Amino acid sequence: MSQLNDAAAPDEGTGAAAHPEFPTHFDFRSAETTLSEAWEAARLFRAEAARTTRAGGERDPFTILIPPPNVTAVLHVGHGLNNTVQDVLIRWRRMVGDEALWLPGTDHAGIATQNVVEKILATEGKTRFDVGREAFVERTEAFVEETGGLILKQLRAIGASADWSRTAYTFSPALSRAVREAFVRLHERGLVYRGHRVIHWCPRCLTSLSDEEAEFHDSVGKLYHIRYALADDASQGLTIATTRPETLLADVAVAVHPDDARYAAFVGRTVALPLTGIALPVIADAYVERAFGTGALKITPAHDANDFDVGKRHGLAMPVVISPEGRMGEIVDAAGRVPAELRGLDRFDARRRIVQQLEASGALVKVETHAHSVRHCYRCDTVVEPRLSDQWFVRMAPLAEPALAAVKDGAVRLLPEKWEKVYINWLEGIRDWNISRQLWWGHRVPVWTCGDCGHADAHREDPTACGTCGGTKLEQDPDVFDTWFSSWLWPISTLGWPDEESEDLKAFFPSDVLVTAPDILFFWVARMIMAGYAFMGRAPFHSVYLHGTVRDMKHRKMSKSLGNGIDPLDVVERYGADALRWTLIQGMGLGVDVMLDPDDLDKSFAPGRNFATKLWNIGRFILLQVGEDPVTPLAQVDAAAFTLADRWILGRLDAAIAECDAALGPARPRAGHWPPADRQVGLRLDAYAEAARRFVWNELADWYVEAVKARLAERGADREVARAVLVHMFDQGLRLLHPIMPFVTEALWQRLPGATPGRFLAASRWPSTARTDWRGARDSRGGAHTGGSEFDVVREAIDAIRRLRSEYAVTPGQTIRTYVAKGDGGAVLVENAALVHRLARSEVHVGAAPAGAAAHAVLPSGLELALPLEGMVDLEKECARLRVELAGLARQLGALRGRLANEQFTARAPAEVVEGERAKEREWSARAEQLSAKVAELCG
RNA sequence: GGGCGAAUAGCUCAGCUGGUCAGAGCACCUGCCUUACACGCAGGGUGUCGGGGGUUCGAGUCCCUCUUCGCCCA
C-alpha cells in the first residue's frame, strides 16, 4: 500500500466484502471540497446581528476576530495552528447555540508590504523614489488587488468556518475612516503630540520604528576604551567606554556619577574630543553606572535615547552626524564635527576608520569583547540607528491605566497565566508610542499645516482652507501611521466603528476570545485593550488565548529562511485537513509549543489521518450493520430494555460530554468579570480532544461496538435497542469531534440513518448531559466498587483472561474455558458470556475448575477466575506469578495500613480522605486474602 | 541589569486548589488478515518526578537554595 492515502484505489482485501458505496477509507480530497461548498451554500457561518440577545434575539453572541494576517501572506503552519484553534472554538460555540461570528480579514501591513513591493521594484533596478510616491502607492494597491488575500482562500482549505461575507481589510475605506477618527479623537483629547526626540530609525526602510518594532538581538561586540584628555592639561584625562565609537563625533559632554570619587576632580572641567579636539564639559549625572566600563560616559544626545535625556537635563546641544541612510555627515547642528574623509561613509565603515585613527593617535586605550543586545528592524533585520527626529507620539500612560486595571480586576484574562504578569510588567512601564512612519504605504497622518500662518491641525475630512487664517496653501503631513495604529482598532473598526449605531457593533462588540501568539502581546493585544477602553469604554474581549509556536524537532521556530517549514496545504493534500487539525489540536497544551518534524510528516500527521480512518470505519460498521431502516430515538427506548453494556456506554457518554465541557468552558465570564477561580479554567483543547477521542475510540469502538455485534445479528426488540443506542452514541461522538475534525465527521453524519438533506452536523446541537432522560436507567451498581459499574466487571474479566492467554502464549484461535467461583459477581459474567467469548475466546463456567494445571486471577471486584490450561501452565511459574502479584499488593497494603495506624493521619486528615483510605484497605485486604488463599492452595 | 517561566518514561508532554498521580501519545517489543478498520486488534515497561534543604500526619504537587534551559523587557 502506498504511503499516500489514495482512497480512490480499490479496497485491498482483508476479507471484508467490498462495499463500493462505502470504501474502507475516507476520501477526504473529494469530501473536503464538497462539504466546504455545501456549508458555504447553506450559509451556515453567517452570523446575524438580529438574532443576538444584544439585538433582542434569542442567542448569546460569541465573537472571535481573526488576527488579520498580512495581506501578502501565504499560509504557513503557524497560521494553521492559530486559525484551527479559532475554528474549533467558533464551531463549538455555534453548536452550543450561540450566534457565532468569526470575522476574517487581512492587514495592509504597511512596512512589510512596502518592502515586498520595493523588492519587486529592485528587480527592475528601481527604488520607490524613482517611481514617486503616488505611482508607488498605486502599484502597491494593484499588487495587493492581484495577489492579496490568498491566505483567506487557503484558510477555507483547512476548514475555517469564518463569515466570509464580513471579510475586512485594514486599509479599506471603512477601516481607514476608523483610523482617522481615532487619531483625531486622541488629538482632541491631547493624547497625541509631535515629539522631538531620539527614536529607532531603520536606515534601510528609511523610517522610524516603535520600541516594539526594534527587536533586541544578542550579539558579541566590542567595548572600546577611549581616552579624552583634559583640554588644558593633556597629561590628565578620562577614559570612557563605548560600543559605538563612530558616534563620538556627536559627543557633547562626558558624564560621571556625582558620587564617584575617582572623577570628582574632573567635574566642571573641559576635555578635548579625540580626532576633532572639540571642547566637551565634564558633567555629573546619576544616570551613569559607576560599575560599567570605566565609569565615565560619553554623551551623544542625538544618537542615544538615554544620552538624549541627559542632554535635556543639562541643556546640551544635540548635533546629528548620521544621515537617514546611515552615513556619516554633518546633518543637523554638526558643522565642523565630521572630518571630510569620513563624510558619506557608512556608519560601520566609519567605525572601523575611527578606531584606526584613535589607535594611531594613541587615544584608544583598549578594546574588550562585549556581549550585548543590539536593536534590529523587525522587518528587515537591519541594525537600528537611534536618531533624533520629529515624530507623532501617543501618550500611553492614560490609555494604559484602564487596560492594566482590566487584567488586574478580571475583566480580561490572559491564558496561560504567566502572560498576565508579563502584560502587567509592560504596562506598568509603558512608554509613549511612536506612531508615525516615513513610509508611503499606509494611512496618511491627517494633519495639515497652513503654508501661510503655520497653523497645524488634525482633520476628519480633508480641509480646503486653513481654519485659522483662511489660507489655502495647506500641506498634509507626509508620514503614514504605524500599521499597528490601524490593527489596534480591529475589534471595533471591523464591526462598524466609528458608526456607533452599527448593528454589528451593537450585536457583536465586545467580542469574546482573542486567539494569538504571545509575540504580539504588546504590538497588538495590549493596544487593542487600550483602544477598546479609549473608544468604546470597555475591553474588546474577555479572554486572550496565547498559544505556542510551531517548532521543528530541534526546537527551532519554523521559518522560510531556515527551510524547516511545513506547508499546511501540502499536509491537507497528503493527509487531509482533519489530520492537520487533529495533530495541531491534540498536541497543544495551553500555551505549549507544538513540535513537528518537517522531515517526517508521517510521524506528525499519520495519527490524525489514522484517527479519521478509524472514525470512518466505525461509521462504516454502523451503516452496514444497522442499515437504513428508521432507528428509534433513544428517548423513546424503554429504559428497562437497556443491557449492562448500554447503560455503561450511556454513562461513558455523559462522562465524555462533561469532560469536554469542562476542558473547553466556561465560554464567557458569568458576570462580566472572571472570578479568580475561573481565570485559568477552560480552553484546554488538548484535554477536550483526548476526552472525545477516548470516548469514541477506546470506549465506543473498543467495547461497545464489540458488545453490540451479537445483538445486531438477531432480529427482535433487543436489536432495535442496540441500534438506537449505537446510532445515538456515534451521532453524539461525531458532534463532540466535529469542531476538531469537521470534514470526516460531517461526511459520516450525513450518512447516518435518519439524515436528511440540508441538515448539517456543523449546525447541529452540541451534546448535553442535561438533555438525557435516561439518567434514571443508569447502572444499578454504578460506583459500588473501584471497578465502576457491573459492565466494568465484565471488562475486567475479559482483560484478565486476555492477559493470561498472552502470558501462557495460548494460540489466538483456541477457545479456552474460564471458571468463575460462585458468588454474585459470577452471574454478570454468565449473562455476558457471549461477549466474553467474542472478546477473550473463552467459555464461561460457574464453579470450581476441574483438577489440573490452571491459570488464576483475582479481580479487584472480588471475582476469582480459573483457566484450565492443561499442558500450557507450569505450576512453578504460576506460583511465582501469583506470589509477585501478592507481594506487590502486600507492599501497597502495608503502606496503607501504616498510614491508617498513624494517629496524626487519622486525626488530622480530612474525614473523607481517611474514609477513602479505609475503604481501600478493606478492598485490598480482601483481595490479598483471596490471593494468598489461592497461593496456599496451589503452591502449598 | 530587571521581570517571568520551565526542568516528570527514549521523544513530546498531562498531572487543577498537597492524600492510587507516577500518567497519555509517539517510538519500541511480541502475537494476530479475530469479516468496520493492518491508517487495525490484543498483550508488554521504563521513571531516586534536575540536585540539596525545609514546611506537613503526608510533596512532582507548597517554601528556600543551587544547577541547567527558555521567554519578555531595558
- Distance in angstroms, CA of A820 to C1' of B60? 41
Could you give the angle at which helices A577-586 and A742-749 cross, rounded to 10 degrees? 120
Which residue gives the smallest C-alpha to C1' distance to B34?
A813
0.80 surpassed by pTM = yes
Alpha carbon distances (Å) from A719 to A246, A795, A804, A896? 88, 22, 32, 47
Supply the DSSP symbol for A243.
S
> A620: which nucleotide lies closest, measuring CA to C1'?
B36
- Distance in angstroms, CA of A526 to C1' of B67? 35
Is residue A242 within a helix (H) or strand (E), and if so which, with residue range?
A: strand A233-242
Q: Strand B proximity: list residues 658-697 of A with CB under 7 Å.
A: 684, 687, 690, 697
- Distance in angstroms, CA of A749 to C1' of B40? 22
Judge if the beta carbon of A909 is closer than 7 A to nucleic acid strand B. yes
Nearest to A49 by CA among A540, A497, A513, A503: A503
Strands A456-458 and A447-450: antiparallel
CA separation for the pair A616, A23 (Å, rounded): 9
Alpha carbon distances (Å) from A7 to A28, A30, A158, A704, A781? 8, 10, 19, 28, 46
Q: Give DSSP secondary structure letters for A849-863.
A: PPSS-EEEEE-TTS-
Question: What are A230's three cell numbers?
Answer: 583634559
Q: Strand B proximity: list residues 520-539 of A with CB under 7 Å.
A: 522
> A702: which nucleotide lies closest, measuring CA to C1'?
B41
Q: What does residue A850 show for φ and ψ, rounded to 5 degrees? A: -60, 155
Which residue gives the smallest C-alpha to C1' distance to B40?
A614
CA A287, A289, A295, A298 torsion: positive or negative?
A: negative
> A16: which nucleotide lies closest, measuring CA to C1'?
B35
Question: What are A150's three cell numbers?
Answer: 490568498
By the 10 Å C-beta count (0-12 exposed, 13-18 middle, 19+ buried), A625 is classed as: middle
* Protein-proximal nucleotides of chain B (any atom < 7 Å from a CB): 2-5, 11-15, 19-20, 24-27, 31-44, 56-58, 71-74
Q: Strand B proximity: list residues 341-370 of A with CB under 7 Å.
A: none
Q: How many CB atoms lie within 10 A of CB A786?
A: 12
- Distance in angstroms, CA of A250 to C1' of B73? 28
Strands A550-551 and A474-476: unpaired
Residues 6 or more apart whose Cβ sits within 8 Å of residue A849: A817, A819, A866, A867, A868
- pLDDT, residue A1, reads 31
Judge if the beta carbon of A22 is closer than 7 A to nucleic acid strand B. no
- Distance in angstroms, CA of A892 to C1' of B21? 15
Beta strands in A395-460 (DSSP E): 413-415, 433-434, 436-437, 447-450, 456-458
> A292: which nucleotide lies closest, measuring CA to C1'?
B1
In the three-class reduction of DSSP (H, G, I as helix; E, B as strand; rest coil), residue A915 is classed as helix
Predicted ipTM of the assembly: 0.92
Which residue gives the smallest C-alpha to C1' distance to B2?
A425
CA separation for the pair A744, A103 (Å, rounded): 24
- Distance in angstroms, CA of A908 to C1' of B18? 14
- Distance in angstroms, CA of A793 to C1' of B22? 25
Q: What does residue A215 show for φ and ψ, rounded to 5 degrees? A: -85, 145
- Distance in angstroms, CA of A686 to C1' of B50? 27
CA separation for the pair A737, A696 (Å, rounded): 9
- pLDDT, residue A680, reads 82
Judge if the beta carbon of A583 is closer than 7 A to nucleic acid strand B. no
- pLDDT, residue A16, reads 43
Question: What are A314's three cell numbers?
Answer: 543639562
Judge if the beta carbon of A922 is closer than 7 A to nucleic acid strand B. no
- Distance in angstroms, CA of A629 to C1' of B64? 69
Contact by Cβ (8 Å): A301, A388? yes
Question: What are A392's three cell numbers?
Answer: 507623532
- Distance in angstroms, CA of A195 to C1' of B38? 70
- pLDDT, residue A783, reads 32
- Distance in angstroms, CA of A579 to C1' of B46? 30
- Distance in angstroms, CA of A783 to C1' of B48? 36
Contact by Cβ (8 Å): A506, A46? no
- pLDDT, residue A823, reads 67
> A548: which nucleotide lies closest, measuring CA to C1'?
B71
Could you give the angle at which helices A824-831 and A790-807 cross, rounded to 10 degrees? 80
In the three-class reduction of DSSP (H, G, I as helix; E, B as strand; rest coil), residue A386 is classed as strand
- pLDDT, residue A524, reads 92
pLDDT < 70: residue spans in chain A: 1-20, 770-788, 822-824
Please work out, in degrees rounded to the nearest 5, the angle formed at the alpha carbon of residue A435 by the alpha carbons of A142 and A151: 40
- Distance in angstroms, CA of A913 to C1' of B53? 29
Judge if the beta carbon of A215 is closer than 7 A to nucleic acid strand B. yes
> A860: which nucleotide lies closest, measuring CA to C1'?
B20
Judge if the beta carbon of A123 is closer than 7 A to nucleic acid strand B. no
Q: Strand B proximity: list residues 701-760 of A with CB under 7 Å.
A: 701-702, 705-706, 709
> A806: which nucleotide lies closest, measuring CA to C1'?
B43
- pLDDT, residue A521, reads 86
Q: How many CB atoms lie within 10 A of CB A371?
A: 9
> A681: which nucleotide lies closest, measuring CA to C1'?
B16
Q: Strand B proximity: list residues 388-447 of A with CB under 7 Å.
A: 418, 421-422, 425-426, 429, 431
Judge if the beta carbon of A556 is closer than 7 A to nucleic acid strand B. no
Contact by Cβ (8 Å): A735, A696? no
Judge if the beta carbon of A5 is closer than 7 A to nucleic acid strand B. yes
- Distance in angstroms, CA of A552 to C1' of B72? 22
> A419: which nucleotide lies closest, measuring CA to C1'?
B4
Is the peptide bond between A416 and the residue preceding it cis, with omega within 30 degrees of 0? Answer: yes
> A807: which nucleotide lies closest, measuring CA to C1'?
B43
Buried b (16+ CB within 10 A) or exposed e, A711-721: bbeeeeebebb
Q: Which residues pair with A514 in a beta bridge?
A: A544
Which tens digits make up the pLDDT trace of A892-917?
787 788 778 777 777 777 777 777 77
Which residue gives the smallest C-alpha to C1' distance to B36?
A621
> A305: which nucleotide lies closest, measuring CA to C1'?
B74
CA separation for the pair A598, A568 (Å, rounded): 11
Alpha carbon distances (Å) from A63 to A99, A162, A516, A579? 8, 11, 15, 26
- Distance in angstroms, CA of A903 to C1' of B53? 27
- Distance in angstroms, CA of A905 to C1' of B14? 29
Judge if the beta carbon of A700 is closer than 7 A to nucleic acid strand B. no
Is residue A219 within a helix (H) or strand (E), and if so which, with residue range?
A: strand A214-230
Alpha carbon distances (Å) from A117 to A19, A120, A579, A920? 55, 5, 36, 72
Residues 6 or more apart whose Cβ sits within 8 Å of residue A837: A815, A843, A844
CA separation for the pair A566, A559 (Å, rounded): 9
> A896: which nucleotide lies closest, measuring CA to C1'?
B20
Q: Strand B proximity: list residues 586-615 of A with CB under 7 Å.
A: 587, 589-590, 592-593, 595, 603, 606-607, 609-610, 612-614
Judge if the beta carbon of A901 is closer than 7 A to nucleic acid strand B. no
- Distance in angstroms, CA of A202 to C1' of B73? 21
- pLDDT, residue A781, reads 33
- Distance in angstroms, CA of A924 to C1' of B58? 20
CA separation for the pair A383, A326 (Å, rounded): 10
Q: Give DSSP secondary structure letters for A522-578.
A: IIIIIHHHHHIIIIISS-S-SEEEE---EE-TTSPBP-TTTT----HHHHHHHH-HH
Alpha carbon distances (Å) from A552 to A75, A549, A583, A587? 17, 10, 14, 14
CA separation for the pair A116, A137 (Å, rounded): 13
